[in-house]
Amino acid sequence: MIAESLQLKSTKQTALEIRGKILDIGLPVTSSVSIKNSIAVGFGDGTIRFFDPGLTDPRVFKVHSGVVLCMVSNGNYILTGGDDGKFLKISFDGEVEEIADFGSRWVDTVAVYKNDKVCSSGNKVYVWHEGQKKEKILDHPSTVGGLAFCSNGKYLAVSCYGGVTVWERLDRRWKSSRFIYKGSHGLVSFSPDSKYLITAMQENEIHAWRLRDKDNLKMSGYPAKVKSFDWVGNTPYLVTSGANQAICWPFDGKDGPKGRKPICVADGGKQYSTFIKSLPDEEAIFTGFRDGTVLLSEIDENKNANIIRNPTGAEVTTIALTSDRSHILIGDSKGSILWSTLWAGRE
Partner 1 sequence: MSNTSQVPVTVLTGFLGAGKTTLLNRILTEQHGRKYAVIVNEFGEQGIDNDLVVDADEEVFEMNNGCICCTVRGDLIRILSGLMKRADKLDAIIVETTGLADPAPVAQTFFVDQDVADRTKLDAIVTVADAVHLSSQIGEHHEAEEQIAFADVVLLNKIDLVKDKEIDIVKDRIRKINPYAKIIKTNRCETPLKDIIGLNAFSLDRVLEVEPDFLDSDHDHEHDDDVTSVSFVSETPLDLEKFQDWFGNLLQTRGQDILRSKGILDFVGEEERYVFQGVHMLMDASPMGPWPKDKEKTSRVVFIGRNLDTMDLERGFEGCKSA
Site for partner 1 in 267-326 (CB under 8 A): none
Site for partner 1 in 190-209 (CB under 8 A): 201-203
State the nearest-atom distance from the C-beta of 321 to partner 1, in Å. Answer: 23
**Distance between alpha carbon 303 and the CA centroid of its chain, in Å?**
26
Q: Distance between CA 238 and CA 240 in Å, rounded? A: 6
Q: Please choose, out of 62-70, 169-177, 262-270, 293-301, the segment that lies near partner 1 by the rule CB under 8 A.
A: 62-70
Member of 93, 104, 170, 213 binding partner 1 (CB under 8 A): 104
Collect all residues with Cβ–Cβ distance below 8 Å to 37 and sequence separation of at least 6.
Answer: 52, 53, 322, 323, 324, 326
Residue 228 DSSP symbol: -
Member of 20, 44, 163, 268 binding partner 1 (CB under 8 A): 44
State the nearest-atom distance from the C-beta of 185 to partner 1, in Å. Answer: 10
Q: Is 108 in the site for partner 1 (CB under 8 A)?
A: yes
Neighbours of 218 (CB within 10 A): 13
Q: Distance between CA 74 and CA 279 in Å, rounded? A: 19
Angle formed at CA 81 by CA 76 and CA 84, multiple of 5 degrees: 140
Q: Is 161 in the site for partner 1 (CB under 8 A)?
A: yes
Q: Please choose, out of 97-105, 111-119, 279-287, 318-326, the segment that lies near partner 1 by the rule CB under 8 A.
A: 97-105
Member of 184, 194, 306, 326 binding partner 1 (CB under 8 A): 184
Query: Which CB, 68 or 299, lies closer to partner 1?
Result: 68
List 307's β-bridge partners, or say none: 295
Asked if 310 and 13 touch (Cβ cutoff 8 Å), the reply is yes
Asked if 57 and 343 touch (Cβ cutoff 8 Å), the reply is no
Site string for partner 1, 118-157 (x = CB under 8 A): ----xx------------------xx-x------------
List 338's β-bridge partners, or say none: 22, 330
Total residues at the site for partner 1 (CB under 8 A)? 32
Asked if 133 and 174 touch (Cβ cutoff 8 Å), the reply is no
Member of 83, 230, 298, 332 binding partner 1 (CB under 8 A): 83
Query: Which CB, 278 or 318, lies closer to partner 1?
Result: 318
Q: Distance between CA 125 and CA 108 in Å, rounded? A: 10
Q: Distance between CA 61 and CA 72 in Å, rounded? A: 16
State the nearest-atom distance from the C-beta of 300 to partner 1, in Å. Answer: 30
HSE-CB for 302 with a 13 A CA cutoff: 0
Site string for partner 1, 23-42 (x = CB under 8 A): ----xx-x------------
Residues in contact with partner 1 by the rule CB under 8 A: 1, 27-28, 30, 43-46, 66-67, 69, 83, 103-106, 108, 122-123, 142-143, 145, 161, 182-184, 201-203, 224-225, 333
